[in-house]
C-alpha cells in the first residue's frame, strides 16, 4: 500500500534518448532541468553511467507529479514496460518525437560549472 505524506513538491518521471532515438532511459527527479544537465555533463566528462554509455541526453517524454510516492511507482511501472509500449507512450505525448530539452534548459545550453554552483545542493 502506498502511503501519501504531506507536502507540495514537483517530481518528474522522464524518458531520454540519444540522437538516433535507439536507446531509452527512464528516470525520476525533482528538478528536470538540472537532471538533464547532469546527464549531459556525465557524457562530456566520460563518467560511466547507463545514460552516458549510450549518449542519452535528449528528453522525449515527461510526466509531472506532486507526490514522490506516485512518481516512484510510475517510474518503476515504466521501467517494467517493453520497448514498444514505451514508444507508444512517447508518441502519444510527443507525436513528432521531438527533443524537449528546451522546455527545461535555458536556451538549451548548459551553463558553465561556476554558474551551476548555486544548484549544487539540490536533491535529485
Question: Mean pLDDT throughout 103-118?
Answer: 57
The residue length of the chain stands at 124
Q: Residue 118: is its pLDDT beyond 70?
A: no
Determine, yes or no, domain membership for 4: no
Quote the pLDDT of residue 105: 81
Element (H, E) at 26: strand 24-29
Give 12-54 pLDDT, tens digit per residue: 999 999 999 999 999 999 999 999 999 999 999 999 999 999 9
Give 49-91 pLDDT, tens digit per residue: 999 999 999 999 999 999 999 999 999 999 999 999 999 999 9
Structural domain count, the chain: 1
Determine, yes or no, domain membership for 105: no
CATH classification at residue 85: 3.40.1440.10
Return the DSSP state at 122.
-
Residue closest to 32 by CA, chosen among 47, 15, 19, 17: 15
**Structure pTM?**
0.81
Range of the domain at 80: 11-100
Cα separation, 52 vs 19, in Å, equals 13
Determine, yes or no, domain membership for 88: yes
End-to-end alpha-carbon separation of the chain, Å?
Answer: 24
Determine, yes or no, domain membership for 78: yes
Amino acid at each position: 500500500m502506498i502511503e501519501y505524506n504531506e507536502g507540495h513538491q514537483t517530481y518528474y518521471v522522464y524518458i531520454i534518448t540519444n540522437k538516433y532515438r535507439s536507446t531509452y532511459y527512464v528516470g525520476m527527479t525533482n528538478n528536470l532541468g538540472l537532471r538533464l544537465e547532469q546527464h549531459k555533463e556525465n557524457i562530456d566528462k566520460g563518467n560511466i553511467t547507463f545514460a552516458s554509455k549510450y549518449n542519452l541526453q535528449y528528453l522525449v517524454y515527461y510526466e509531472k507529479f506532486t507526490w514522490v510516492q506516485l512518481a516512484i511507482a510510475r517510474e518503476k511501472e515504466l521501467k517494467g514496460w517493453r520497448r514498444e509500449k514505451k514508444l507508444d507512450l512517447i508518441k502519444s505525448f510527443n507525436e513528432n518525437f521531438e527533443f524537449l530539452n528546451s522546455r527545461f534548459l535555458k536556451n538549451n545550453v548548459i551553463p558553465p560549472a561556476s554558474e551551476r554552483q548555486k544548484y549544487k545542493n539540490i536533491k535529485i
